[in-house]
Structure 1
Amino acid sequence: MRVFRGYSRPVPAPVALAIGNFDGVHLGHAALIARLVAVAGSSGVVPTVLSFEPHPREFFAPASAPARLSTFREKLELLAESGVAQAMICPFNRAFAALSAEQFIEAVLVRGLQVRHLVIGDDFRFGRGRLGDFALLQAAGERHGFTVEAMGSVVVDGERVSSSGVRRALADGDMAHAAKLLGRPYMMDGQVGHGQKLGRQLGFATANLRIKHNPLPMTGVFAVEVAGLGDKPLPGVANLGVRPTVGGTRPLLEVHLFDFDRDIYGAHISVRFVHKLRDEQRFPNFDALKAQIAADAAAARAFFKR
């Protein structure tokens, strides 16, 4: 996937475009992208997404912004896997937020992206004061030579699929429901780094991933599957949180893989959270922590044998 930072230099060829934050790339996003790729293929233009960094809610109200479901890299990887060929990432800053809807159309869509077809969600609003809507885009399309279509919401078991719905499922520890809305298990990617080697002292060596999600969308102990180390995902147990028993303060994902003994420092892996075992908690001493880790590993093994 080609990635363009900002819109000051136009992309090299006309595009079919989808606009959104695409946090988590859930089933609603997947439907939008599938339509985008189909239209681009039939019209001979490049399937492209326009997204923003940071999320507009992080810019306007950083203290109350929701937890991100996916990091910037994870989002781009998921979009590329869905067939998107290029992405334009616009820095969401004071100047960008001040663009009127008409200025956004002229500067970003027409000059920056040479848009020929635009696919948006049914709740899409844009421009200063969120005054831009589907009708305004249609009128602009007639003037500038692009077409516009709005996609309806995707509904699963009576629930509209949304990033906020995925966040609620994760916060509730309902991994199965989150997976139903995402179309796959919730996952986090990262590079395996060196930790304090406490896992080895406790009898459970771990692969440690520094997590860039801040705040975390969830914490706790989970049965997980890890991709990126072989032909098929490997089962294990993981703790996601700050590790209060050992005085941790930064989010860390610690993964213990069952029946696995390879040096994987530096490997980039994907951790899929398939079942929550319990909340993260503080233990009075290392012996209590070690006993609980053993119980967690046994519970995760039992889950995978069901």
Structure 2
Amino acid sequence: MEVIRGLHNLRPAHRGSAVTIGNFDGIHRGHQAVLGQLEAGARARGLPATLITFEPHPLEYFAPERADARITRLREKVDALRAQPVERVLCLKFDARLAAMAPEEFIQRVLVDGLGTEYLVVGDDFRFGNRRAGTFETLEAAGAEHGFAVERTRTYSLDGERVSSTRVRNALTAGELETAAELLGRPYRLCGRVVHGDQRGRTIGFPTANIPLYRRKRPLSGVFAVWLTVDGGPSRPAVANVGTRPTVDGTEPVLEVHVFDFAGDLYGRPVSVEFVEKIREEQRFGSLEELTAQIDADAAAARRRLGVE
């Protein structure tokens, strides 16, 4: 899968595409249905399936205080897309220039001149361009003018309710990891690179791998039973905390993972953390002794849940 960052990196070879557009936060089963529809249209026309997405999300640009917590960062989104029938991802930087672009200019520069779009699939509630003036009908009219087909996405439902990023996010916030996994079509994971921490966990007998979250908001928080994978290797049972470590007056959100029966060096290595079950909410303790006792109990609970007692 080819990742193209910005319009300036489009080349003549990228012209002639089947395209879909959106934030695609989570790459959940609803998104996967859209990508299946895109693949079918692309295959019928002999075109590469191309996904256009934005970084940051438009609402993060316009009103970061009102933006939802992301299910997936860009890197996690791209990783999830590698398992989908997508050949190209065009990531457009959402900035003042893109926000001010009129719908007609977006169509001309991105869809027509940039990608040579021949087939487009989007939701009929899709809005784009300056002041969100562009609509599905705008795209239909442009398709008739420029010679590309425009098709509506089909709604994907589970248990009688539409699968959406909001539904996934609500399940994660509530700690309903099985529900989230069912909506995503895979277990929920956070990815990152292990960095040096303050070594406090080591002093109380629970050394941790510290992974910065680089998120304004988190879709979940608390203590969890997890599996940790290093560099795509075997999964290792672990207990993890997602939060700000209130007992030690932490401020920056971090993912801390204590891997059971492991003594290797993880610094600087990319890891993936798969969330299995929520054990409890994050809380402040009166002393490190109380915190240590609770971590010991959390570890025992995680071992039971993961079947590694």
TM-score band (shorter)?
Answer: over 0.9
Share of identical aligned residues, percent?
49
Matched-pair contact (CA < 8 Å) for 1:9–1:112: no
Cα pair distance change 1:9/1:192, threshold 3 Å: closer
Matched-pair contact (CA < 8 Å) for 2:123–2:136: no
Q: Which range is displaced more, 246-255 or 41-50? A: 41-50
Structure 1 residue 212 corresponds to structure 2 residue 214: yes
Provide runs of 4+ in structure 1 moved above 6 Å: none
The DSSP-based 3-state class of the residue aligned with 1:264 is: coil
The DSSP-based 3-state class of the residue aligned with 2:206 is: coil
Aligned counterpart, 1:285:
287
Aligned counterpart, 2:46:
44
Q: Distance in 2 between matches of 1:8 and 1:207?
A: 38
Aligned counterpart, 1:16:
18
1:46 positional shift: 1.7
The DSSP-based 3-state class of the residue aligned with 1:177 is: helix
Q: Distance in 2 between matches of 1:219 and 1:144?
A: 48
State the AA in 2 paired with 1:123.
D
The DSSP-based 3-state class of the residue aligned with 2:76 is: helix
1:155 positional shift: 0.8
Aligned counterpart, 1:6:
6
State the AA in 2 paired with 1:57.
L
Aligned counterpart, 2:90:
88
Q: TM-score, normalised by structure 1?
A: 0.94
Aligned counterpart, 1:247:
249
Aligned counterpart, 2:168:
166
RMSD of aligned C-alpha atoms?
Answer: 1.7
Matched-pair contact (CA < 8 Å) for 1:236–1:300: yes
Aligned counterpart, 2:108:
106
The DSSP-based 3-state class of the residue aligned with 2:38 is: helix
In structure 2, stretches of 5+ residues that fail to align are none
Q: Distance in 1 between matches of 2:38 and 2:267?
A: 38
The DSSP-based 3-state class of the residue aligned with 2:65 is: helix
In structure 1, stretches of 5+ residues that fail to align are none
Cα pair distance change 1:229/1:6, threshold 3 Å: closer
1:48 positional shift: 1.1
Q: Distance in 2 between matches of 1:223 and 1:258?
A: 11
The DSSP-based 3-state class of the residue aligned with 2:180 is: helix
Matched-pair contact (CA < 8 Å) for 1:32–1:121: no
State the AA in 2 paired with 1:255.
V
1:97 positional shift: 1.6
The DSSP-based 3-state class of the residue aligned with 1:142 is: helix
The DSSP-based 3-state class of the residue aligned with 1:193 is: coil
Matched-pair contact (CA < 8 Å) for 2:223–2:279: yes
Structure 1 residue 61 corresponds to structure 2 residue 63: yes
